[in-house]
């Protein structure tokens, strides 16, 4: 018996990849750097965010690390964060909600399910992202794992997320685009999980398939 659903946010409800790709070119233009560096920046983002998820660096530390590795290791922490804020501003201007996101949340709530958003991103940015996408809806609980001190795919992230919704892990469905973070980790913690791959290679290709 399902009582709740936990959605991932980036590349599940909101199109993070589009915002990153477009925002990165704008930021590079502002800095006088060549555009088209998405592959390199994406690899650094993945590397440093994975280090954060493994507990090797802080959330702030991964921002500093990826900015330094992209722009120059001689940067001070303060300068790296200041420059990174320029990327975030450009990223933010390109946020887009997936057209199937709000309908899926609405149907979950109409079916009597509690709804949470379990994300490894920081609250300030993720809350703003939800507002930008029209997803800051009554009854939808934003759960940034940064505040739980245990990012996905650590088992405690899902358990604490379910506890915040007041439901058992076995009665909760996790939906997201990351196999380790939204599917394997969730199942290991006792949740049900569905792998969203918009190219059709996962459990579902669209949030329209839910509920």
Q: Please pick, from the candidates 4, 5, 10, 175, the single residue that binds Mg ion as defined by CB under 5 A.
A: 10
Q: Return the number of the residue (81 or 127) whose C-beta is nearest Mg ion.
A: 127
Asked if 188 and 170 count as a contact pair (C-beta separation under 8 A), the reply is no
10 Å CB burial of residue 54 (0-12, 13-18, 19+) is exposed
- Nearer CB in complex with Mg ion: 75/115: 115
Least distance from C-beta 22 to Mg ion, angstroms? 18
Judging by DSSP bridges, how do beta strands 192-195 and 114-119 pair with one another?
A: unpaired
Nearer to Mg ion, 99 or 180 (CB): 180
Give every CB contact of residue 180 below 8 A, 6+ residues apart in sequence.
153
Question: Which residue, 10 or 53, has its beta carbon nearer to Mg ion?
Answer: 10
Contact flags string 25-64 toward Mg ion, x per CB under 5 A: ----------------------------------------
Min separation Cβ 41 and Mg ion, Å: 17
Is 177 a binder of Mg ion (CB under 5 A)?
A: yes
CA 88 centroid distance within chain: 14
Per the CB < 8 A criterion, the answer to whether 6 and 158 are in contact is yes
Q: Is 11 in the site for Mg ion (CB under 5 A)?
A: yes
Task: Select the span of 38-46, 55-63, 93-101, 175-183 touching Mg ion (CB under 5 A).
Answer: 175-183
How far is CA 127 from each of CA 161, 162, 205, rounded to the nearest angstrom?
16, 19, 25
DSSP per-residue string spanning 50-107: HHHHTTSS-HHHHHHHHHHHHH-TT--HHHHHHHHHHHHHHHHTT--B-TTHHHHHHH
- Binding segment for Mg ion (CB under 5 A), chosen from 2-10, 24-32, 55-63, 141-149, is 2-10
Site string for Mg ion, 106-125 (x = CB under 5 A): --------------------
Summarize as ranges the residues that interact with Mg ion (CB under 5 A).
Answer: 8, 10-11, 177-178
């Amino acid at each position: 018996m399902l009582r709740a659903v936990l959605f991932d946010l980036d590349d599940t409800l909101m199109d993070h990849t589009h915002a990153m790709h477009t925002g990165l070119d704008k930021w590079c233009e502002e800095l006088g750097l060549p555009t088209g560096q998405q592959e390199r920046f994406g690899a650094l983002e993945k590397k440093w965010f994975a280090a954060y998820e493994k507990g090797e660096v802080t959330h702030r530390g991964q921002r500093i690390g990826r900015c330094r590795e992209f722009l120059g290791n001689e940067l001070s922490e303060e300068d790296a964060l200041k420059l990174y804020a320029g990327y975030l501003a450009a990223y933010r201007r390109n946020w887009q909600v997936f057209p199937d996101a709000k309908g899926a949340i609405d149907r979950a709530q109409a079916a009597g399910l509690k709804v949470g958003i379990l994300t490894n991103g920081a609250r300030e940015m993720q809350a703003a992202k939800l507002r930008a996408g029209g997803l800051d809806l009554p009854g939808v609980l934003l759960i940034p794992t940064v505040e739980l001190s245990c990012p996905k795919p650590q088992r405690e992230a899902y358990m604490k997320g379910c506890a915040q919704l007041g439901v058992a892990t076995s009665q909760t469905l996790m939906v997201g685009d990351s196999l380790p973070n939204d599917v394997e980790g969730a199942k290991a913690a006792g949740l049900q999980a569905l792998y969203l791959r918009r190219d059709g290679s996962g459990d579902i290709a669209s949030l329209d398939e839910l509920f």
